Structure 1
């Protein structure tokens, strides 16, 4: 007897039900766990100059950066979103340590963001007995201090809001001293430096501090220690007093930049202050050419003993700076490289003033570190402006902003 076949397999109604359940399950899974997740970051875009239509230039303003392992790096600056920029800043300038260039950055930032500066009533700096600031409208406050001054918690606190971020800058002491010695001898004709024989000028200055460096502080002796607020009565053996003041400075200063690592310093500052790349572009300022100087071991030892405060400040904050750079992560060097390329285009663009017809503007395209922005000839003008001329401009601007008000704050 032949049996009735049971069919070709599973009943059709069961197959249809099972398929429906599977399709629904896959739809739910795909919703909860996307199957096509990308972690790649687009590489930096190119930047170029906007030119007038009738101008044909042989110079190229196209730049790109090849960056290794970029797809595996998430730049910190790309994750900051719309955090507010820091606009309350106290900058401590140090003679011959890139401070004029940095002050120019702070001044341009303040102009672009309609901020108010702390400006001396007379002259161009808060030094000696000159500590009165230009008045502001009643109920208003000042935003940025970027003039020469000696650090004092009392003074900074009296002219700036409580939430102000303090920024400083340092330079390797022997290099700073050499630069300052030539500059203040040749440009400012300092009497004590004019007394030093020109033959072996720096070596004479280092070898005979008892003859030429008779005061606790000068432009060439413990200048960084002076500006950072150390007492002139501190001696090389007062280690406890030195450490105590250094501890105060470490608490007060959010960041201290390093001149010989200037581009790294600016990118670190940009991240610290939530600024844009456009806010930290610059042209080098106030440099003074001089002959290179090489110190012998004995000379260097003697100089370190003379400028002990400068070395205390430098070594302390250089170590802190190094640690902060290390903590920034692997994308930091990529941003610095990108910044250097942008700076080169800015320098080239700002040199083209004599071309006819002139370049209209420089457009920096978007990258993983910056929104697109433009550099104009007016920006170049401000970046090139001399320190005294810029201060005169800022004082006139301040008077117009605070007209008919005569309240002066220390």
Structure 2
């Protein structure tokens, strides 16, 4: 077993628990255009299961006899091409009209059959792109009738119906990966919709990190009368069975990753006081003889190696074998609905918006906990390769989920629409900057005029902040302040609001962590 963590046997047990998804699939139903597994009835009246990858398996033992291609094959292909060409426009239009009008929009595409199947037969079971792929494959099958093809087409368009915004969320706040900015987004959404947060006991900013998460670390949780919270987003070392105890089974799980090369350069600057870094003058010096400074038994050693691996609950010093890497990736995929990439933050926010069924303003943000460029160090190619090798487990996680990130964009949104959405997001961010900020951007800590907006400073990093414009009306000032309030101050205010009835008027929740830990939240850069 690793010091203070899990060994291989426990890793396998965690994978099994994650794979079984104690948060049941019934509670994980997707809205809108998200992949999921759901049972349906096809046009032959047989029970079938559709998967997110477009595969379809009969649940009956009925066998099909070879048949000739449908008489209207060319007409079906025409309908399919029309649907593909207009899918994104239809989805955009569909969000602004009522259900009856959407039904009419769907009927427009049923030109090849005067008697299409009732809308009620179709269920929102897959993403539009996955359904397109499946329908395109099915159209080549000589065993499908025109009516069956229309049923598939109907499923293709129905996911564009309005979805219900998700309010039960688990965000694994990975260090040094723009996670403070994401947390601000969750804080704002939760505050505006009166949602509850799973706060650390006493109102700290970490859930007894670096220990594996336990439900009893959450303020207000009791095993005898378990309480469920809407949002869990404070720093923790992930352990899914325990997380499941404090959030609804339908909760949406996501996290964000960062290129391990940039992550380690940032970690060295911010956690310079960590045991592994305190005796070296530069990252290059550390990497020349890492084991001369790095001790796997140090309680803060994770800041110096495979930090993402550690945050996901695994051993950062584990063997880098194909089997172990595969096991880790499967465990993460089994537990999380979405992995974002900080290098593509705007694209990540568009994808998150789609998955959560939120509006644009809910995911617009100003970068928080960003580091002044003067404290960033350029890295030689040799150092870059050494970082990759030293953080090999992180590198395997990052490269895998960077690939699946773009695969999901291609499948669920498409590159052209993504470009339009990113443009709209950036334009809105620009509008808010012109409305809210003095100087349109971040400033050095010494230039921040409002002390309540000053971010925590630590290590050799110099963390930037913002100044709000003067003379804003009350509502606009409140909106702008939410966008730029640092994590510790925002978390403290929300804690006090949520547990106001339990706090004496003079008591202020602590701003630092409440368990053995090295440092609070890291920065993105």
Q: Residues of 1 paired with 2:469 and 2:323: CA distance? A: 60
Match of 1:212 among 286, 293, 296: 293
Written as runs of structure 1 = structure 2, the 5 A alignment for 1:13-28 is: none
Q: Residues of 2 paired with 1:95 and 1:180: CA distance? A: 8
1:305 CA displacement:
2.1
Match of 2:247 in 1: 160
Match of 1:293 in 2: 378
Residue deviations 1:231-268 (CA, integer Å, cap 9, x gap): 345212x3212211211211221111110100000010
Q: Residues of 1 paired with 2:322 and 2:271: CA distance? A: 30
SS at 1:194's partner residue?
coil
Written as runs of structure 1 = structure 2, the 5 A alignment for 1:240-255 is: 240-255=323-338
TM-score computed with the length of structure 1 as normaliser: 0.70
1:332 CA displacement:
1.9
Match of 2:485 in 1: 385
1:113 aligned onto 2:193: yes
1:388 CA displacement:
1.4
Taking a change above 3 Å as real, the CA distance of residues 119 and 318 of structure 1, as seen in their structure-2 partners, is same
Q: Residues of 2 paired with 1:248 and 1:242: CA distance? A: 10
Match of 1:225 in 2: 309
Q: Residues of 2 paired with 1:159 and 1:118: CA distance? A: 7
Taking a change above 3 Å as real, the CA distance of residues 139 and 78 of structure 1, as seen in their structure-2 partners, is farther
1:146 aligned onto 2:259: no
Q: Residues of 1 paired with 2:90 and 2:402: CA distance? A: 24
Q: Residues of 2 paired with 1:139 and 1:234: CA distance? A: 34
1:273 CA displacement:
0.5
Taking a change above 3 Å as real, the CA distance of residues 96 and 86 of structure 1, as seen in their structure-2 partners, is same
Taking a change above 3 Å as real, the CA distance of residues 78 and 193 of structure 1, as seen in their structure-2 partners, is farther
Q: Which runs of 5+ in 2 are unaligned?
A: 1-84, 96-160, 439-466, 505-525
Q: Is the 8 A contact 1:116 1:142 kept in 2?
A: yes
Q: Residues of 1 paired with 2:418 and 2:220: CA distance? A: 41
Taking a change above 3 Å as real, the CA distance of residues 180 and 82 of structure 1, as seen in their structure-2 partners, is same
Q: Residues of 2 paired with 1:232 and 1:220: CA distance? A: 10
Higher gyration radius (CA): 1
Match of 1:282 in 2: 365
SS at 2:337's partner residue?
strand
SS at 2:339's partner residue?
strand
Query: RMSD value over aligned CA atoms?
Result: 2.6
SS at 1:148's partner residue?
coil
Residue deviations 1:183-230 (CA, integer Å, cap 9, x gap): 222xxx334323112xxx121122221122322742231000101121
Match of 1:86 among 156, 166, 181: 166
1:326 CA displacement:
1.6
Match of 1:257 among 320, 340, 352: 340
Q: Is the 8 A contact 1:136 1:142 kept in 2?
A: no
Match of 2:395 in 1: 311
SS at 2:255's partner residue?
strand
Q: Is the 8 A contact 1:136 1:402 kept in 2?
A: no
TM-score computed with the length of structure 2 as normaliser: 0.56
Match of 1:46 in 2: none
Written as runs of structure 1 = structure 2, the 5 A alignment for 1:386-405 is: 386-400=486-500
1:101 aligned onto 2:181: yes
Match of 1:124 in 2: 205
Out of 87-96 and 321-330, give the one that drifted further.
Answer: 321-330
Q: Is the 8 A contact 1:135 1:402 kept in 2?
A: no
SS at 2:276's partner residue?
helix
Q: Provide the aligned length of Structure 1 versus Structure 2.
A: 313
Written as runs of structure 1 = structure 2, the 5 A alignment for 1:350-389 is: 350-352=436-438, 358-360=471-473, 376-389=476-489
Match of 2:264 in 1: 177
Q: Is the 8 A contact 1:77 1:271 kept in 2?
A: no
Taking a change above 3 Å as real, the CA distance of residues 158 and 403 of structure 1, as seen in their structure-2 partners, is farther
Q: Which runs of 5+ in 1 are unaligned?
A: 1-69, 362-374, 405-410
SS at 1:158's partner residue?
coil
Residue deviations 1:269-315 (CA, integer Å, cap 9, x gap): 00001001111111110012223322224x33332221011101101
